Structure 1
């Protein structure tokens, strides 16, 4: 409780120059803890957040987007393999979006307000995710049109600093550069944190739409392992 007392003293001494942004109260087996998130607004309107108190442990909100437009899908199989291995390392709350399941309704909408409520909730899940895993098949040297259409509806300021693991599937290794030449620039626009290790998988690395290649296994394990240090819940 010494840390908590020092935080309370800090708050009492500085409350005139600080604005309380949010107060969260939660309970564990032994104690109540109070968490104050305080924001101090400087003259140039830049906000510095001072996090005070005990941080509550939650499942990581992971949203996975599969850009495949049909089933069975190698892209979906890759997404499921990545998220499954992630769940073996940390506790996650997974929200999976399959464009093949929502494509007709998504493609018919010219504005976000024209989308069905279920797809609007998918977009809200993307905008509030702690971590994104996105994958697309390669069509004409790029991501699918539906994949881009989905992210056209995502608010351009909602993904600042959100870690994103990039993945793609294609007919051969010739398309592997899609991750750096197409996907990375898209999420750089959102100012997301695109992780340095992505996963590209060719058709030959699947059997019956399941991952069946040791080299691909190793790439998935490496990408997930290297992602872990960047993952944390949003405040």
Structure 2
């Protein structure tokens, strides 16, 4: 099983730090899970415009392939103007909705106000519902105050939520695979 962590931004480092921490937690506890990290900063992804997928640039096709072939996800975004990034929205638009169907999604986000955690509830979870994906009950939201001056996560509550999220996505994916193999294969 492959877990793909996605940092859905092309600016800043905090989102990637959180996503990678969840992936590290999974790697440390579950050696049977293949972990891959997709940092949208590393790719020049074209805007979705409805064209045939094979006509997109190599970077765009590579990202689409990485997302489409993963078995489950940790998806991260900073919150800008009370919403997910355009980069992440564009990524969702590029992927065939059937490629997310019956897969587990866990969410992480970061922002400059404590209320922005609501974006996970009011935007990301409904998007997952549209895709007919399974959503981990836990999520991680980190405020700038949760990082030290070296950009390290130091808040014990955030670190605990990372622990729970890592456990939940793996538990859910394994349970789906063992109890309902027709849903995930």
Indicate the residue corresponding to 1:212 in structure 2: 154
Q: Which has the larger share of strand?
A: 1
Q: Is the 8 A contact 1:107 1:146 kept in 2?
A: no
In structure 1, what is the Cα distance between the partners aligned to 2:114 and 2:82? 12
- Report deviation, 1:95: 2.3
Q: Give matches, 1:1-235, under 5 Å.
A: 60-71=1-12, 73-91=13-31, 92-102=33-43, 105-108=44-47, 110=49, 111=51, 112-207=53-148, 208-232=150-174, 234-235=184-185
Q: Which runs of 5+ in 1 are unaligned?
A: 1-59
TM-score where L is the length of structure 2: 0.86
Residue by residue over 1:22-79, the C-alpha shift from the partner in whole angstroms, topping out at 9 and shown as x without a partner, is xxxxxxxxxxxxxxxxxxxxxxxxxxxxxxxxxxxxxx211111012125x0000000
Alpha-carbon RMSD across the aligned residues, in angstroms, is: 1.7
Cα distance change, pair 109–178 in 1 and its aligned pair in 2 (3 A): closer
Aligned residues: 173
- Separation in 1 of the partners of 2:3 and 2:58? 20
SS, match of residue 65 in structure 1? strand
Given that 2:72 and 2:104 are in contact with CA atoms closer than 8 Å, whether structure 1 keeps it comes out as yes
What's the offset of the Cα at 1:125? 2.1
Q: TM-score when scaled to structure 1? A: 0.69
> What is the CA-CA distance between 1:86 and the residue it aligns to?
0.8
- Distance in 2 of aligned mates of 1:187 and 1:106: 22
Q: Secondary structure at the match of 2:10?
A: coil
For the residues of structure 2 that align with 1:129 and 1:108, how far apart are their CA atoms? Answer: 21
CA distance in 1, matches of 2:48, 2:106: 27
Distance 2:164 2:37 in 1: 22
Question: Which fold has the larger relative contact order, with Cα–Cα distance below 8 Å and residues 6 or more apart in sequence?
Answer: 2
